[in-house]
Amino acid sequence: MISENYHFNYSLTTNTDKHLILFLHGFMGNIHEFDATIKLLADNFSYLILDLPGHGNTQVSGVDNYYTMPKTAEAIISLLDKLNIPKCFLVGYSMGGRLALYLTLNFPESFYKVILESASPGLATEAEQIERIQRDAQIARKLARSASKIDFAAFLFNWYNQPIFGSMKNHLEFNRMLESRLQNNPKELTKSLQFMGTGSQPSLWDKLQNNQIPLLLMVGENDAKFIDINKEMAQICRASQLKIINNSAHNIHFENTSEFVYHLKVYFQSTT
């Protein structure tokens, strides 16, 4: 069984008679990615959080193929079965959002509603995929050379200089977030980047039009790239709606936690 190759580090918080939300973090995140969000949500829901393959304390055995999106998705569904969770809400950020969309399209019976934060369906053409795989391979080599915590910190600092992150580095909690990212193993992160990066994942554009699971597409007002991507997604998928969040770029739940939580509650607490 595929689930035997995954030893997920996870935490399940159950509040009686409350729907459960499965949270999936982004690249270089971990099980604590949504702590501030969950704190504000309090006992409104039940929660399942975990470290994705290549991150935190989750361990993957077997070949590197087990880091891919399809196999990771199967493993997550197996985990839900193991925990006796037949259906839940789903929230995914960035890489976790891409994985959340894959789960939605391939296992629709497992989810009531889904929130995709700064996510995409991958790349539409083979040429785009090849170019992105080559770019991700360069990033992976830089990560692999992060032999010390200082090297890794320098890599992270440069990573968050990307335009999609806006002024995230000016946030009062940025250094604390950076310290959390430093708990990851750079060599494991390279496997996640190589096998579940945007170029490596299956393109989901063609499947979007057939989706019937309600999707809320959340993007930050200062993340022009993903605003364009999500506008296109909203045009293709009738079951989706787009929400552009003020005072944030790519990482909305970090930069504007209160508004992120507000829209999450409104969306999930409406008729299921």
The structure tokens listed for 217 are 């597409």
CATH 3.10.580.10 fits 2-123+202-269, yes or no: no
Read out DSSP for 39-92? HHHGGGSEEEEEPPTTSTT-EE-S-GGGGSHHHHHHHHHHHHHHTT--SEEEEE
Mean pLDDT (whole number) for 123-128: 94
Mean pLDDT (whole number) for 267-271: 86
Domain ranges of the chain: 2-123+202-269
**Predicted confidence (pLDDT) per residue in 184-205, tens digit:** 999 999 999 999 999 999 999 9
Give the number of C-alpha atoms closer than 13 A to the C-alpha of residue 172, restricted to the C-beta side. 2
Give yes or no for a contact between 7 and 231, defined as CB atoms under 8 angstroms apart.
no
The structure tokens listed for 171 are 């946030």
Cα(78)–Cα(188) distance, integer angstroms? 22
**Predicted confidence (pLDDT) per residue in 228-258, tens digit:** 999 999 999 999 999 999 999 999 999 999 9
Cα(91)–Cα(203) distance, integer angstroms? 20
Query: Shortest CA distance to 136 belongs to which of 193, 203, 201?
Result: 193
Mean pLDDT (whole number) for 36-61: 96
Mean pLDDT (whole number) for 144-152: 87
pLDDT category of residue 148 using cuts at 50, 70 and 90: confident
Query: Shortest CA distance to 98 belongs to which of 181, 198, 191, 188?
Result: 198
C-alpha distances out from residue 130 to 100, 134, 267, Å: 23, 6, 37
